[in-house]
Amino acid sequence: MADARRSRRFTAREESELRREVLVEPWPELGLVAADGPADPEPELVVENGRVVRLDGRDAADFDVIDRFLVAHGLDLEVADEAMALPDERLARMLVDVDVPRDALVRLARGLTPAKLARVVGMLDPVELMMALKKLRARRDPGNQAHVTNLKESPALLAADAAEAARRGFDELETTVGVARYAPLNALALLVGSQVGRPGVMTQCAVEERRNLELAIRGLVTYAETLSVYGTEPVFADGDDTPWSKAFLASAYASRGVKVRFTSGTGSEALMGHAQGLSMLYLEARCVSVVRAAGAQGVQNGSISCVALVLAVPGGTRAILAENVLAAWLDLEVASGNDAIASHSPIRKTAKLMGQFLPGTDFVTSGYSIMGRRDNTFGGGNYDADDIDEWLTLQRDWQVDGGIEPIEELEALRVRERAARAVQAVFAELGLPAVTEAEVEAATLAHGSADMPDRDRAADVEAADELLAREISALDVALALDRQGFEDVAEAVVGMLRQRIAADYLQTAAVIEPDGLVRSAVNDPNLYLGPGTGYRLEGERWALLQALPHVVDPRSLGAAVADADAIVEESGPAVPGSDPAEVVIAVGPAFADGLRETIAGLPHDDVLAAVVDGVREAGGSPRIVRILRAADVAFIGYDGAGLSGSGVALGLQSKGTAVIHRADLQPLDNLELFGMSPLYTLDSYRAMGRNAAGYALGQRVGPVPTELDNFARAKLIVRTTLLHAQEARAVVPGAAPVELEIVGSARQRPRSGRLQGSAPAAGG
């Protein structure tokens, strides 16, 4: 009979967020295999008389629409012979070799078939993939893109969020619509907000192609990344496109001044039911090959909306990183996913993120949710407004530029309010339904759309239709801003029109600097060739990314208190006592002097009083001495014990760590050690005093009950270090201990010197 018992640990783990997700064994027939699928073709390219007659296991007569497109536009037969002849291992080694320049690899990739590309990239382990990605990224400087949406499609909130995102350094902002007809209003709010936050930030509105093109023609958006491609013919057709239609659309966008990025990503073919038994990575190699062949400058890939499906199969996270590498190897700009929710588990999704975050990509996320998650109408928000401090801290931890800058709260409020006012002004000038003062105020301070007043949505969509019908363009927006006193924002919008006219941002991996300079892989190429080369986070940028608003100056913590009233005074050298009931309370060099409270915020005078009380309660006679020669609690206690008539002492460091010592023990041994100083109350110190007296008088003593806080160290180790440093600075080497007398009122508080943020003393 089966054992029906359950482990409480197993059942507890079953309740975790992670376990909401289904993991599956590979099932290659359905495409549920990350890489190296059993049916993936052998890499193959046969050229006869300048014509490709076989490609990756297929004869020309059997080429599907993707093969045909790649043969017509994708493969450079001039390098194909050389590239295809290189052994897989050789190419794989070149990908990670810092002495092989990016250019050489990009040239070879022009002649590689999808099966060869997938095979080679599939040989790399995660760290090798990161190395390859770092080396192959098109533009030198990594960047990031933000998502800006909200459930109420509030224009003031969209503008405020766009402004904050732009101010935080995102190079591109993407919005979409809950209701399709809102598109022109959302695009307008994003344009105005973005240019308030930082001139040059590019914007897009992800909507149906015809509508999108219309917005582009009006200059209300500057880029598009909605052009999806797929790795099998049936899925391409189900997506209602072919490589030719998508390539034509890309050129159509470019002809209207729109920067175009395609979208692909592992998992979509399996999800749409036509993976043809092929692995996700191989199909993605076909996709990115089509993207390059179509003449696109870049791609948004890294599984994107199917990420959770890819993570369900073994090696999924690795395959997603591999597909980013494929795109970069094909010389494409990469916006590397991390936008859709990858996992319920913060550990799992962030582990996945590191694959792109550490090497850096052209856009580390293809949409960081600048709002809270519930306002993300893309159906995602892998990282959102509530995670900004986490992201900034990761950048600071790794010394890595993930494309988001810290800003002070007041600066966020300033740009948010200005953007909301600017959009209010444009709405007024263009005769759109008014944005009220209440909306401006709410958008400035809001966490999300729940904080926003409701608008008349019927009136808004009517106005949106009218906006298009009236052919309102970015030029009208600039003039409206100008008339309402937003001259600098109007200048920025005209600057975006100049960009459209010059079209520099059509080049690979282009972003626009605040002064209008376009930076792309043409004039800012990634020339990484090992340590000391390529993009390095240093200098002013590193100073900016490490200066988070909540970082404190360590010199401001636990400062000495020269003007505080004295708590104790020295009354001469301490000599050994003879009273068998005596308990020496031996304090550290800075106790009640340079330092005035414990790490828990307990004033030293109160702590002394509590210990003295405790000793007396248990029948002992307390005597206070200061140890000057050591800052370590063991030696403070040990030296005290040597002076004690009973041989027992309570050693007390300034930060509150304590020890009960006895003269016959080795210095680093003890009777009881109290290392959890952040958790102690005055009652704790009273109990320590009682126990010390108990030992002195030879009574049976139960240890002082203590609590455990496993996070105490993480929270307080900086303060511990600083307090200890101050104690150590007060050490006088070789100095003899001195006798102390308590002076003044026991209730007096130091006037300064309280640690910032330290916990208030219990009952104090």
Partner 1 sequence: MAFDPVTDYPLGSRRPDLVTTPSGLPLDDVTLAGARAGSLAPDDTRATAGTLALQAEVARAAGRVQLAEGIERAAELTRVPDDELLAIYTALRPGRSSAVDLEAWAERLEELGAGHNAVFVREAAEAYRARGLTADG
Cα gap 516→504, rounded to integer Å = 11
Q: Which of 327, 262, 317 is nearest to 294 (CA)?
A: 262
Cα gap 467→455, rounded to integer Å = 18
Task: List Cα–Cα distances, 610 to 207, 599, 758, in angstroms.
Answer: 69, 16, 20
Using CB under 8 A, which of 81, 465, 487, 709 touches partner 1?
Answer: 487
Active site residue 449: no
Active site residue 145: yes
Structure token digits, residue 658: 């304590």
Cα gap 44→47, rounded to integer Å = 10
Q: Binders of partner 1: how many residues, by CB under 8 A? A: 76
Active site residue 147: yes
Active site residue 174: yes
- 141: contact with partner 1 by CB under 8 A: no
Active site residue 409: no
Stretch that binds partner 1, among 427-435, 486-494, 650-658, 731-739 (CB under 8 A): 486-494
Instruction: Indicate the residue among 126 and 495 with the shorter CB distance to partner 1.
Output: 495
Please give the residues from 41 up to 100 whose contact with partner 1 meets the rule CB under 8 A. 63-65, 68-69, 72-74, 76
* Identity of the amino acid at 142: P
Strands 259-263 and 738-742: unpaired
Using CB under 8 A, which of 248, 398, 408, 725 touches partner 1?
Answer: 248
Exactly one of 366, 369, 654, 677 is catalytic; name it.
366
Provide the 10 A C-beta neighbour count for residue 591: 29
Exactly one of 153, 174, 233, 460 is catalytic; name it.
174
- 468: contact with partner 1 by CB under 8 A: no
What string of DSSP letters covers 473-526?
-HHHHHHHHHHTT-HHHHHHHHHHHHHHHH-GGGSTT-EE-TTS-EE-TTTSB-
Using CB under 8 A, which of 107, 374, 749, 754 touches partner 1?
Answer: 107
How open is the CA angle 48-53-58, to the nearest 5 degrees? 155
Say which DSSP state 451 is in: G
- 331: contact with partner 1 by CB under 8 A: yes
Instruction: Indicate the residue among 251 and 756 with the shorter CB distance to partner 1.
Output: 251
- 503: contact with partner 1 by CB under 8 A: yes
Instruction: Indicate the residue among 39 and 106 with the shorter CB distance to partner 1.
Output: 106
Q: Which of 419, 382, 471, 497 is nearest to 168 (CA)?
A: 419
Instruction: Indicate the residue among 110 and 715 with the shorter CB distance to partner 1.
Output: 110
Please give the residues from 546 up to 605 whose contact with partner 1 meets the rule CB under 8 A. none
Instruction: Indicate the residue among 521 and 636 with the shorter CB distance to partner 1.
Output: 521
Instruction: Indicate the residue among 473 and 681 with the shorter CB distance to partner 1.
Output: 473
Please give the residues from 369 up to 388 whose contact with partner 1 meets the rule CB under 8 A. none
Cα gap 230→239, rounded to integer Å = 8
What string of DSSP letters covers 342-365?
--S-HHHHHHHHHHHHTT--SBSS
Using CB under 8 A, which of 473, 706, 721, 748 touches partner 1?
Answer: 473
- 484: contact with partner 1 by CB under 8 A: no
* 287 φ, ψ (degrees, to nearest 5): -60, -55
Active site residue 758: no
Residue 166 CB, nearest approach to partner 1 (Å):
19
Exactly one of 204, 264, 300, 343 is catalytic; name it.
300
Task: List Cα–Cα distances, 721 to 176, 598, 718, 726, 761, in angstroms.
Answer: 49, 13, 5, 9, 20
Using CB under 8 A, which of 287, 296, 590, 660 touches partner 1?
Answer: 296
Instruction: Indicate the residue among 286 and 318 with the shorter CB distance to partner 1.
Output: 286
Please give the residues from 213 up to 242 whose contact with partner 1 meets the rule CB under 8 A. 213-214, 217-219, 233, 236-237, 240-242
Exactly one of 67, 141, 147, 499 is catalytic; name it.
147
- 466: contact with partner 1 by CB under 8 A: no
Exactly one of 67, 128, 141, 145 is catalytic; name it.
145
Stretch that binds partner 1, among 1-9, 206-214, 552-560, 576-584 (CB under 8 A): 206-214
Cα gap 596→542, rounded to integer Å = 36
Using CB under 8 A, which of 144, 176, 305, 499 touches partner 1?
Answer: 499
Strands 51-55 and 45-48: antiparallel
Please give the residues from 110 up to 129 whose contact with partner 1 meets the rule CB under 8 A. 110
Residue 507 CB, nearest approach to partner 1 (Å):
6
> Cα dihedral sign for 672, 678, 683, 689?
positive
Stretch that binds partner 1, among 30-38, 491-499, 543-551, 659-667 (CB under 8 A): 491-499
Instruction: Indicate the residue among 117 and 600 with the shorter CB distance to partner 1.
Output: 117
Residue 135 CB, nearest approach to partner 1 (Å):
17
b/e per residue, 33-63, with b = 16+ CB within 10 A?
bbbbbeebbebebebeeeebebbbeeeeeeb
Q: Which of 558, 601, 565 is nearest to 763 (CA)?
A: 601
Exactly one of 172, 339, 362, 401 is catalytic; name it.
339
Structure token digits, residue 70: 């790649």
Exactly one of 128, 153, 164, 225 is catalytic; name it.
225
> Cα dihedral sign for 441, 443, 446, 448?
positive
Using CB under 8 A, which of 209, 429, 441, 613 touches partner 1?
Answer: 209
Residue 494 CB, nearest approach to partner 1 (Å):
5
Please give the residues from 506 up to 525 whose contact with partner 1 meets the rule CB under 8 A. 506-508, 516-518, 520-523
> Cα dihedral sign for 111, 115, 118, 120?
negative
Please give the residues from 402 up to 431 whose contact with partner 1 meets the rule CB under 8 A. none
CA torsion 416→419→420→426, rounded to 10°?
Answer: 180
Residue 364 CB, nearest approach to partner 1 (Å):
23
Instruction: Indicate the residue among 478 and 586 with the shorter CB distance to partner 1.
Output: 478
* Helix (H) and strand (E) counts in the chain: 28, 20
Q: Do 162 and 419 contact (CB within 8 A), yes or no? A: yes
Residue 138 CB, nearest approach to partner 1 (Å):
10
Active site residue 524: no
Instruction: Indicate the residue among 28 and 57 with the shorter CB distance to partner 1.
Output: 57
Residue 69 CB, nearest approach to partner 1 (Å):
7
- 471: contact with partner 1 by CB under 8 A: yes
3-state secondary structure of 564: coil
What string of DSSP letters covers 305-342?
GGHHHHTTSTTHHHHHHHHHHHHHHTT-EEE----S--
- Residue positions annotated with a catalytic role: 145, 147, 174, 225, 300, 339, 366
